Amino acid sequence: MPRADLDALCDLDRAHLIHPITEFRKHETKGPRVVVGGEGIHVELADGRRLIDGLSGLFNINVGHGRREIADAVAQQMHEFAYYPAFWDFSSESAIRLAERIVGLLPEDRRLRHLLFTTGGSDANEAAFRVVRMYQAARGRPERSKILSRRHAFHGITRAAGSATRIPAYHALASVDPAHVECAAPYCFRCEFGEEPSSCDMPCVADVEQTIEREGADTIAAMIVEPVMGTGGIILPPPGYFARLQEVCRRHEILLIFDEVITGFGRTGAWFGMEHWDARPDVMAFAKGITSGYLPLGGIAFTDHVYETIRDQSPRGLPFMFGLTYNNHPSCCAAALANLDIVEREGLVTNARVVGDHLRKRLSEGLASHPLVADVRGIGMMLAIECAEPGSKEPVGGKPMAFPAQVAARCYERDLIVRALWENVALAPPLCTTQAEADQIADIVLHAFQSTHPG
């Protein structure tokens, strides 16, 4: 694009376009980075720069950029018909086939066999909250309406999903709905109870039970959890955590929602994050990797038991009172089917595990003696490097979030996009990343750590 045209475009962006998680003032000064292309793990900017997408966009571009077959599948669907509502009993082949395909990928033991597609992760969680409340009301417990979630959780940004999100920065100018209640998270590196994983008896699970007792179990509909916490800082639970959490929820008749928006569709080296842990949800929310971002899509899957309770115990004649204009969108479902074809054909779930392990090993070994690296952790293609003052858990230089941001900026100078997440440098490359590309990513990250001095 000629320089003058690009400058004019950037001026229009500054004047009219709002960007998430961007300070208005800063954006007016800096302007946008205009993306013009993408191929494999790379994105290309209008100024000619070619960057490695070390975060898969927002943890979502699982199959990488530039997959023509997804575009072709969408075009074919759009040529037939682009969209018709799914309300009442209208349906489409792509939505039906996608629902069946996902049921086939899910662990069979839980019978998560009833699906509704939404447009993304936040509205998937909104749908999940509505379904669990409907379930409780249908079985004669309408007062069970609160939703539990954990500190550091990210579940989206719409009103209810944003209230289940428990990262304080998101609430600075927006209040939290009081129907959402917070409890402890299994953040072992920063254990709020001062325990060590080797000897702890999981006070974070006891905290959930205490919260339930304090609020009253008969006021709570469900608890929502990420199988691996993403935006909170790539936080993995210790072994046995989810089994204990599930036992507590079951004993108190509280449904368990797994938010697989990041972890679904291969990101962790398994089709779903739940496969790593000994627990199964009553409702699962998903989005992101289902289409690798080629078109917006999310959704929920719920069990036979939840479905049958709502079906059999709701007042006769009362329809399922949830509906988005774009539920079960045929063109988005066509994108998802083509995306899943690629994931299966290229063995990308296994690749995420193998290449993810390799990348984590290279980073752990390369940073083992770095004085400001306190923890390197992850699973599949979700990794975090946690930074702290030597021998402590304090932010480097006493300045929260500054050092990881400096490291991320240093990576960017060498054409690698990573994300500073609180005290972490987070990486989540596309699932199609090769071992050679992972080595390239590791080299850049290691160089960035070695050449960044807190200041």
Ligand X SMILES: Cc1ncc(COP(=O)(O)O)c(C=O)c1O
Residues that bind ligand X (CB under 6 A): 58, 120-122, 125, 154-156, 226, 230-231, 259, 261-262, 287, 298
- Which one, 56 or 211, has the nearer CB to ligand X? 56
Q: For the chain, what is the largest distance between any 2 Cα atoms, rounded to a whole number of angstroms?
A: 67
d(CA 145, CA 420): 35
d(CA 264, CA 62): 10
Burial of residue 159, with CB atoms counted within 10 A of its CB: 0-12 exposed, 13-18 middle, 19 or more buried: middle
- Which one, 262 or 432, has the nearer CB to ligand X? 262
Asked whether 232 and 152 are in contact (CB, 8 A), the reply is: yes
- Which one, 281 or 395, has the nearer CB to ligand X? 281
d(CA 416, CA 55): 9
Provide the minimum distance between the beta carbon of 61 and ligand X in the complex, in angstroms, as a whole number.
13
Provide the minimum distance between the beta carbon of 304 and ligand X in the complex, in angstroms, as a whole number.
24
How many CB atoms lie under 10 A from the CB of residue 304?
13
- Which one, 230 or 366, has the nearer CB to ligand X? 230
Provide the minimum distance between the beta carbon of 301 and ligand X in the complex, in angstroms, as a whole number.
15
- Which one, 271 or 403, has the nearer CB to ligand X? 271
The alpha carbon of residue 389 and the mean position of all alpha carbons in its chain are separated, in whole angstroms, by 29
Beta pairing class for 42-45 and 112-118: unpaired
Residue 46's φ and ψ, nearest 5 degrees, are -65, -25
Angle at 93 between CA 98 and CA 114, to 5 degrees: 45
- Which one, 384 or 396, has the nearer CB to ligand X? 384
